Amino acid sequence: MDNPNLNNDSQSPSEPVKKPVVAFRPPEPSPSDKKKGFPVPVKWIVLAVVALALFLVAKNILNSTKKKPSLSDEVKQQQQAASQAAIAVKGFKVTRVNYEDPLQVLGTVKGAQEIKLSYEIPGVVSAINYRTGEKYEEGALLISLKQDDILLRLRRAQAAWKKAESEVAIKKDELVENEKLFGMGAIPKSTVDKKRNELDATQYESEAQRLEMKAHEAMLEKSNLYAPSSGMLGKLNIEEGENISQNTLVGEHINTEYVFVEVGIVEKDLSKVSLGQKAKVFIDAYPDKNFEGVVENVAGVISGSSRTATVKIRIENPEGLLRPGMFARIRILLYSKANTLAIPAEAVQGKEGDQFVYLIDSEQSLVKKTPITVGYT
């Protein structure tokens, strides 16, 4: 038999041997595989894994070729970050100043005297000579009641008293005559005693008429209200023609020759306030003017509701600019000293008893935490 391999070997060496070309076609998935979810050929999965491995290897090579920063570079970066995160601060130079420590509070202007005005007798208001806010001098007639009935009773009492006084004079003369006659033995002693008793009765009647007359004079006086001192009417609760009863509050007298500003001081600040301390008072009605005052009274009792004590500051008021009810802003001078060391309060850190400041060392560009003692010296 002929051998095919020999036949091939006998061919000319110049002719290349042709290899059969075999076409690869992946097997079609079976219907059961499609149902199981395996549509991707195994070849593509292998290629994807190989590509991922090549990518990771290339990345490691690139990272290994990068230049690592030196230690000095890292320090510079840290310093740059620190400078960007630095907090801006403000420094103060410690100097000697004329120091004042004020306590700032709010208050209300009160009159030096605030007296309630009322009538001791009933009557009809006949005249009001001053209105609210009008000034007057001591002794000025403020309000009057109708006096017709009072004057009539007064005149009757005056007439009765004069008549009784005349009777007394007559009885005195009769007694004197009877005593002379008794001395001569012309009349008995009983007649003299009778005249003496008549004189006594007449004198009692005269005194009674005098007291009644004085009562009507007092009624007349009580029908008028006079100013107890110079000042003004703070309130007026009646009108002319009004019928008022006994002890009716008709108004309020206020003495404004000097005034008080009343303020409430909380417990924690009360120990700082004492008599004689100076104060500056500012009134909204006079924005370009301040008034000087002095602490004149510190209440010894703390109010239960507000937990404050009332402090009165006296202010002279010769021009009458300050009026009761005005709102006031007060600066009580607790302490003052010239040429003393002082720093801003916001520079002080820490709690009371353990306070400190930060001192700036310009030569070394550093700040130093330094303990301090805060207080008056």
- Give the confidence band of 9 by pLDDT, cuts at 50, 70, 90: very low
Q: Is residue 331 assigned to a domain?
A: no
Beta bridge partners of 360: 367
Displacement of CA 344 from its chain's centroid (Å): 24
Residue 311 near residue 263, CB atoms below 8 Å:
yes
Q: Is residue 141 assigned to a domain?
A: yes
Tell the burial category of 161 from Cβ atoms under 10 Å away from its Cβ (0-12, 13-18, 19+). Answer: buried
Boundary (domain end) residue, out of 236, 260, 278: 236
pLDDT digits (tens, 9 = 90+) for 345-368: 888 888 888 898 888 877 767 788
Residue 322 near residue 315, CB atoms below 8 Å:
yes
pLDDT at 227: 92
Residue 150: which domain range?
A: 121-236
pLDDT at 165: 92
The pLDDT mean for the chain works out to 82
**% pLDDT > 70, the chain:** 77
3-class secondary structure per residue, the chain:
CCCHHHHHHCCCCCCCCCCCCCCCCCCCCCHHHHHHCCCCCHHHHHHHHHHHHHHHHHHHHHHHHCCCCCHHHHHHHHHHHHHHHCCCCCCCCCEEEEEEEEEEEEEEEEEEEEEEEECCCCEEEEEECCCECCEECCCCEEEEECCHHHHHHHHHHHHHHHHHHHHHHHHHHHHHHHHHHHHHCCCCHHHHHHHHHHHHHHHHHHHHHHHHHHHHHHHHHHCEEECCCCEEEEEECCCCCCEECCCCEEEEEEEEEEEEEEEEEEHHHHCCCCCCCEEEEEECCCCCCEEEEEEEEECCCCCCCCCEEEEEEEEECCCCCCCCCCEEEEEEEEEEEEEEEECCHHHCEEECCEEEEEEEECCCCEEEEEECCCCCC
**Residues 6 or more apart from 217 whose CB is under 8 A from it?**
154
Q: Is residue 276 assigned to a domain?
A: no
361, HSE (Cβ side, Cα atoms, 13 Å): 8
**% pLDDT > 90, the chain:** 43
What CA–CA distance (Å, rounded) separates 177 from 80?
Answer: 133
Question: What is the mean pLDDT of the segment spanning 316-330?
Answer: 92
Residue 348 near residue 372, CB atoms below 8 Å:
yes
Q: Is residue 65 assigned to a domain?
A: no
Predicted confidence (pLDDT) at residue 13 exceeds the cutoff of 50: no
pLDDT at 83: 57
Nearest to 240, CA basis, from 122, 129, 121: 129
Place of tokens 């002080």: 348
Q: Is residue 158 assigned to a domain?
A: yes
Q: Is residue 28 assigned to a domain?
A: no
Q: What is the pTM of this model?
A: 0.55
Residue 114 near residue 324, CB atoms below 8 Å:
yes
Question: What is the mean pLDDT of the segment spanning 258-286?
Answer: 93
pLDDT digits (tens, 9 = 90+) for 161-218: 999 999 999 999 988 999 898 888 888 999 889 989 999 999 999 999 999 999 999 9
Which amino acid is residue 344, in one-letter code? P
**Residues 6 or more apart from 186 whose CB is under 8 A from it?**
none
What CA–CA distance (Å, rounded) separates 226 from 243?
Answer: 19
Boundary (domain end) residue, out of 236, 260, 287: 236
What CA–CA distance (Å, rounded) separates 263 from 273?
Answer: 12
- Give the confidence band of 19 by pLDDT, cuts at 50, 70, 90: very low
pLDDT digits (tens, 9 = 90+) for 115-165: 999 999 999 999 999 998 888 999 999 999 999 999 999 999 999 999 999
Predicted confidence (pLDDT) at residue 22 exceeds the cutoff of 50: no
Number of domains in the chain: 2
Question: What is the mean pLDDT of the segment spanning 103-108?
Answer: 94
Boundary (domain end) residue, out of 184, 204, 236: 236
Q: Is residue 244 assigned to a domain?
A: no
**Residues 6 or more apart from 159 whose CB is under 8 A from it?**
none
| Joined tokens for residue 156 | 């009757």
Q: Is residue 321 assigned to a domain?
A: no
* Between residues 304 and 244, the one the model is more confident about: 244
- Residue 42 region by backbone torsions, left for phi larger than 0, else alpha for psi between -120 and 50, else beta: alpha
